[in-house]
Every structure is written in C-alpha cells, then in structure tokens.
Amino acid sequence: MKQNKRKASAAFLLLGMALLVIGLVTDNTIFTWGAIVSVLISLVLGGRWMRSRRR
C-alpha cells in the first residue's frame, strides 16, 4: 500500500509539472490551476511533510 501511494505521488507530481509547463507556454490558466491541484494531491499522497521528525 505504501509503495502505491509513493508511485501515485510521483505520478501526480510529474503530471503537475507537465501541466505547469503547458499552462505557462500557452498562457492558459486552466492548465496552471490543474498543475496546482495536482501538486497538492502529490503532497497529500506523499505525506512526508505532514509527519513530525524523529529525534
């Protein structure tokens, strides 16, 4: 299960970066908003930034 989330997180991150490039090149805000949503989904699925650090 953890491996699937990591793969999905990476996939959403790549999708977000591709949408961001397309949005910037074509000056289309729909692609840019899609990129923002995709990167946020990637962060939530990755979950590393939400966990506290071990000391």
Residue 1 has a pLDDT of 54
pLDDT band at 8 (very low <50, low <70, confident <90, very high): confident
Q: What 3-state DSSP class applies to 46?
A: helix
Mean pLDDT across 46-52: 64
**For residue range 12-44, what is the model confidence (pLDDT) as tens digits?**
888 889 989 998 899 888 988 999 999 888 888
- For residues 36 and 1, give the distance between their C-alpha atoms in angstroms, rounded to a whole number: 25
Domain limits, the chain:
2-46
Six-digit token string for 34: 């899609």
50 has a pLDDT exceeding 60: no
Count of residues in the chain: 55
